[in-house]
Structure 1
Amino acid sequence: MTDSLTEQILRVTDKLAAARELPAAAKAFGADSHGFHLGPPVPEAEVAAFEERHGVTLPAEYRAFVTRVGHGGPGPQGGAGPFYGLLPLDRWAEALELEPTDTVLATPFPVDPDFAYLDWWSEVGLGVDDEPFPGAIALGHEGCGHLSVLVVTGAARGRVSSTYWDGAGPQLSPAPDFLSWYENWLDTVLAG
């Protein structure tokens, strides 16, 4: 792990601990169920087995988070995180519309970060029998059927996206990676 990644992990860990101590933090959406707690980190061997089984390498920032900070948590929708909280890694397939297959994560996520879609479905060539959100793992429920996902395969690899169904399709977060997305959420919580 790089020094900058280690520094960011430590910063995120400190901010998460600070969020637990803020009285106003309990008012953050979802905090009543997760209390700014996460489940225990995932052992390296389990992450490696997940990657091998699905033919992917998890983005370094997410991998570092789940192996060093934690994943999932006490709430019915997971642990400390945006919206309803972060799902545990074993609930990765919740963003899929079709049954998961062994190759769905290795299939590129159908969004080009440099393209503005007007009619995403037709512009990426999705048919009615196609999985609209391959190449991504579910991070958490946003409400109204939308999820936050982490792109693990494709041009947007490493980015967090919301799975909107409108013509523009999934919307990528402006954050460059999972840890930046998560830290931005913590900064918002800590700012009140």
Structure 2
Amino acid sequence: MGSWDESAVRARIRQTAARDPKRARFGADTHRYELAPPLPEAQIRAFEEAHGIELPSAYRSFVAEVGNGPAGPGHGLMPLTAPRPQADEEWAADDEWEQDRLPGRLATPFPLTEPRPGRIGTPADELTLGTLMLAEEGCGIFLRLILTGPRAGQVWQIDPDWGGFVPVAPGFHTWYTQWLTPP
């Protein structure tokens, strides 16, 4: 998947928001069904060059054609290039976002070749090398986009205490469109 229909995605988000005026759906109070503007190509390219990576095409085209967060799964899609606006409280996602931007971290090979279900027993920061945090689900659970290695492009969920580090979607497009199609 290399391209998105911005108007169709934004229409789906508006429809979902209209069906959820009290923001009862998990995370809606955080992202408020709002999308930031897309990022300019030069800004995306500069991010990739600064981190020595190529973003998976579905994610890259989303931030270029649709928006740079936050409407999305969990507490919302984290922005690629600018931290979440300062809120009344600090979120664990803020630290994860900053850690991902440390030099060399995103380009480091993803250390897992297979999922690691259950308690992972290894510090999460060692397992998340070569991944980009997409969203927070609360309680230390994060959704991450694999950037390097044979699993590149997949979306995995890391729950260090109970769920392990396991795939949840074969790619960003599937993961995001599943959220766009609420039950």
How does the TM-score come out when normalised to structure 1? 0.75
Contact 1:61 1:177 in 2 (8 A): yes
* Separation in 2, partners of 1:111, 1:177: 17
Structure 1 gaps, min length 5: 73-78
> Aligned runs of 1:71-82 on 2, under 5 Å?
71-72=68-69, 79-82=70-73
How high is the sequence identity, in percent, across the aligned residues?
Answer: 37
Deviations 1:38-81 (A, max 9, x none): 11111110100000011100000000111111113xxxxxx211
* Separation in 1, partners of 2:138, 2:79: 17
The answer for the alignment partner of 1:179 in structure 2 is 173
The answer for the alignment partner of 2:67 in structure 1 is 70
- Structural RMSD (CA): 3.1
| Structure 1 residues 96 and 108, CA gap change in structure 2 (3 angstroms) | farther
Structure 2 gaps, min length 5: 84-92
* Separation in 1, partners of 2:55, 2:100: 21
Q: Which has the higher helix share?
A: 1
> Aligned runs of 1:1-192 on 2, under 5 Å?
5-6=2-3, 11-23=8-20, 26-72=23-69, 79-90=70-81, 91=83, 94-95=95-96, 101-112=102-113, 115=114, 117=116, 131-166=126-161, 169-173=164-168, 175-188=169-182, 191=183
Give the match's secondary structure for 1:131: helix
* Separation in 1, partners of 2:3, 2:22: 25
Give the match's secondary structure for 1:163: strand
Contact 2:4 2:65 in 1 (8 A): no
How does the TM-score come out when normalised to structure 2? 0.78
Paired residues, number: 173
Contact 1:119 1:167 in 2 (8 A): yes
